[in-house]
Structure formats: C-alpha cells, structure tokens
Amino acid sequence: MNDQATPSRGLLLFRAVAGIVAFGLLGISFTQVLGFLAFTGAKAAGDSLWNWVKDPGTGQLLIQGVSTAVGFLVATALVAIVLRLSWTDLRWRRAGGAGRGFAIAFVLGAILVGLILVLGASVGGARWVPDPATPGSYAARIGVALLLLAPAAFAEEVAFRGLPLVLLDRAAGRNIAIGIMALLFALAHSRNPSVTTLGIGNICVAGLLLGIAFFAPGGIWTAVGFHLGWNWGITALDAPVSGIDFQIPWINYDPGSRSWLTGGKFGPEGGLLASLVLVLATIVASRLVLYKKPVADS
C-alpha cells in the first residue's frame, strides 16, 4: 500500500516539469501585462514621471521588480493550488525563524560583499574617492536604494528559489535542484550591462548559495534576506550591482585597472575576488545546511 500511495520518480519529475513550465509561462505573462500597464500609465502621466521611470536605476528597477514579484507570486499561488502545495510546503510559512533568518542573512550578505570590495581595494587597485555631496545625501540615497532593491530581490527569489526549487527537490533531489536553478538564475543575467563570462559564473555560484539559503531555517525569507543584503551592500559602497550603477553621492567607487580581480564596470560580481569568496561561502553554507541533520525551524 505504501508503494502505491507514494508517487513514482517519473511522476514526480513529470509534475515538476509541467508545474515549472506552467509557473514560468504564467509568471512571465502576468509580469509583462503588469509592466506594460505601469509603463503606459507613467508615460501618459507626463514627461517628469516618464523620465524617472525610464531610469534603469530608479523607476525602471522599481516597476520591473514589483511587476515581477506580483506576477510570479500569483503564478505561485495558482500552480500551488493545482498541485495541492501549501505555503509551508513552499517554505514561505514556517513554524518560526523567518524574521531571524531574513535578518541574519541580510547582514551576512552585506558583510560578504563588503569583504570582496575591501579586498579589491587592498590587492586589486580599487579605491573610493570623496565627492562634494554630504553624508546626509548619502544616507538618504542608500535608504532609497534599499527600497528600490527590495522588490527586485524578492521577485528573483520567488521566481528562482520558490516553487520551481521545491518541485525539483522532490523530483530530482536537493543538490540537482539547486544546481539547475542556479544555472537558470545566471542565464537570466546574461544580458546585463557590461556582463562578462566570469560574472555569469559568479552569479551561478551566488545562485547555489541562495539555493542553500532557501533550505536553511526561515525558508524563502532567508534567501531574500541574503539577496537583498548582498545587493544593498554593493550599492552602499557605490559599486555597480550586476552592471547597474546607482550613482551614490558622497563617495565614488573606482574599480581600478585590474578588472579581472575587481569586476570592473560589472561590479564586484564580475571579478576573481568574488569567485573566491562565493565559493568558500558556498562550501561553508553547504556543510551547515545540506550535509547535517535537519533542524526544525522552530
């Protein structure tokens, strides 16, 4: 009776592929519709709003982030209903630890990327130089940047470390699931400004690390926390985030001439220093999360 009640590996794989394809098509469709409505409305509202919306580091980032987050959140709910998956199954609603997981991961993400940038200044020829702005304008800008980056980080975790990762985990195993979604995550960034081959490789490793974070206590919120802390840490130090420059006042970051170490115009994610730190962090995280006896989130 137990063998009959347990779905076969083939059935699980079929459900995973079908569910992920449906999830992707629905998520992309909803995102496109919402983005079109938002951009069309902004354009009709006047030149001032439209010019802000066109800026890739402000309005465009916000609209894309919110549209993607809502689109894939709706897709998650619809596919989860069909496949009878609860929010607990999807690692959204845990017995405890979501807030703690988010906070700890946010700090760790910011510290790790800060370490990469400091190493770049120490051995890679990068440097920071002051500009005429004030510390107050700096604080205000990085605060706004946090608000702009939050929807994008949340959206990418919903799309790449949400329902697809759960389905693949059940069908093919956790390591394979994390690897596949990390590869797709990297490919999704392959058209970013100033992207390099090393940058794509580093983003793939970052995807592995985020996948491991997803299976840590706190579930998806731990992954969102790390993702947001990482992106915000780069922004707060005025470096480009995957090729996107936020133009932070008061300090100016110069990656120097050794772009193979510092990442150059793509940001720290495009350099060898990021490779070293990300690989080490992924090894440590895998030891703590994937290769130990599971601990309840409570």
Q: What is the pLDDT of residues 260-272, one digit of tens each?
A: 999 999 999 999 9
244 secondary structure, DSSP code: B
Determine the pLDDT at residue 293: 56
**In this prediction, what percent of the chain has a pLDDT beyond 90?**
81
Determine the pLDDT at residue 238: 96
**Residues whose CB is less than 8 angstroms from the CB of residue 62 and which lie 6 or more positions away in sequence, other chains included:** 148, 151
- Is 76 inside any structural domain? yes
Q: Answer whether residue 143 shows pLDDT above 60.
A: yes
Q: How many domains does the chain have?
A: 1
Helix (H, G, I), strand (E, B) or coil at 168: helix
pTM of the full structure: 0.93
**How far is residue 248's CA from residue 139's CA, in Å, rounded to a whole number?**
9
**Residues whose CB is less than 8 angstroms from the CB of residue 21 and which lie 6 or more positions away in sequence, other chains included:** none
User: What is the pLDDT confidence band of residue 297, given thresholds at 50, 70 and 90?
Assistant: very low
- Is 298 inside any structural domain? no
Helix (H, G, I), strand (E, B) or coil at 130: strand
**Residues whose CB is less than 8 angstroms from the CB of residue 160 and which lie 6 or more positions away in sequence, other chains included:** 181, 184, 185, 188, 207, 210
56-65, 92-101, 162-171: range with lowest mean pLDDT: 92-101
Distances (CA, A) of 8 to 94, 169, 235: 27, 14, 46
**281 HSE (CA, 13 A, CB side):** 27
User: What is the pLDDT confidence band of residue 296, given thresholds at 50, 70 and 90?
Assistant: very low
**In this prediction, what percent of the chain has a pLDDT beyond 70?**
95
Say how many residues make up the chain.
298
Taking Cα atoms as reference points, which of 180, 277, 165, 159 lies closest to residue 214? 165
**Residues whose CB is less than 8 angstroms from the CB of residue 100 and which lie 6 or more positions away in sequence, other chains included:** 217, 218
What tokens were used for 255? 């990656």
Higher-confidence residue: 43 or 231? Answer: 231
* Residue 33 lies in domain: 2-289
**How far is residue 15's CA from residue 286's CA, in Å, rounded to a whole number?**
27
- Is 46 inside any structural domain? yes
- Is 135 inside any structural domain? yes
Q: What is the mean pLDDT of residues 141-161?
A: 96
Determine the pLDDT at residue 27: 98
- Is 246 inside any structural domain? yes
User: What is the pLDDT confidence band of residue 5, given thresholds at 50, 70 and 90?
Assistant: low
Farthest CA pair distance, the chain? 74
**How far is residue 294's CA from residue 115's CA, in Å, rounded to a whole number?**
30
**How far is residue 227's CA from residue 264's CA, in Å, rounded to a whole number?**
21
- Is 297 inside any structural domain? no
Determine the pLDDT at residue 3: 46
**How far is residue 88's CA from residue 94's CA, in Å, rounded to a whole number?**
6
Determine the pLDDT at residue 126: 96
- Is 296 inside any structural domain? no
8 Å CB contact between 128 and 252: yes
Determine the pLDDT at residue 2: 46
- Is 206 inside any structural domain? yes
